[in-house]
Amino acid sequence: MSAIIGTIVAAVWLMLPAYVTNSSAAFFGGKTPIDRGMYWGTSRLLGDGKTYEGLVKGIACGVLVGIVQNLFAWGYVDLPSFGSFPFFFVTLVCLSAGAMLGDLLGSFAKRRVGLKRGASLPLVDQLDFVVGAWLLLFLFARAWFRNAFSLEVIIAVVVITPMLHLLTNYIGFKMGKKQVPW
Ligand code: CTP
Ligand code: MG
């Protein structure tokens, strides 16, 4: 396997719990807005696209997939692990909860500049959850984060995530799970 392919595989593997979190939140959706309809100024605090159900189901799916991944990583030396028991729970919760946190911050920022729910804000829409996941990893799992995410892997994530995000959102749109294809 060439080095570049190896880096891409590692990047997707390491970010998969965050990817799954984000897409499960969209897949399951929910009804109870986290901001409970609250406004800040003339715009909603977060908007109807951020719900408790999406948050909880998203994090649960992300952590579950990460646990399954870690079972594979122990068997195959080539795949990076999320850490040993019980530390990998910290890593996986940072990846999943961080993804949801970043997504909330992205929506918060969109509302502050007057963008309605579902309006597109390029790069923020595709990378807010990545930044959230990395922020929590940096705060609570720094040694693992530094070791797993080399500069090459970080670059691969930043390049690949927007493409994967657009692709999965398009699929979600076609499935009727998302109101807009981005
Ligand atoms: N979702 C949810 N709860 C969350 C996050 C996402 O229910 N905490 C669901 C919502 O149904 C949302 C969909 O996932 O519409 C897609 O998420 P996203 O694209 O981030 O939301 P948008 O609807 O585009 O809203 P925003 O403009 O706030 O990004
Ligand atoms: Mg978003």
Cα 99 to ligand 2 centroid, rounded to whole Å: 10
Residue 47 Cβ inside 6 Å of ligand 1? The answer reads yes
Of 77-86, 127-136, 169-178, the range with the highest mean pLDDT is 127-136
Cis peptide leading into residue 86 (ω within 30°): yes
- pLDDT score for 179: 83
- pLDDT score for 1: 62
- pLDDT score for 181: 86
What DSSP element (H or E) covers 9? helix 3-28
Q: How far apart are CA 25 and CA 12, in angstroms?
A: 19
- pLDDT score for 50: 98
Residue-wise pLDDT for 39-86, tens only, equals 999 999 999 999 999 999 999 999 999 999 999 998 877 899 999 999
Q: How far apart are CA 55 and CA 36, in angstroms?
A: 14
Residue type, position 28, single letter: F
Mean pLDDT of the chain: 96
Atom 12 (ligand 1): residue with closest C-alpha? 49
In contact, 82 and 92? CB cutoff 8 Å: yes
Q: How far apart are CA 83 and CA 81, in angstroms?
A: 5
Pocket probe for ligand 1: among 48, 57, 166, 178, the residue whose CB has the most ligand atoms within 8 Å is 178
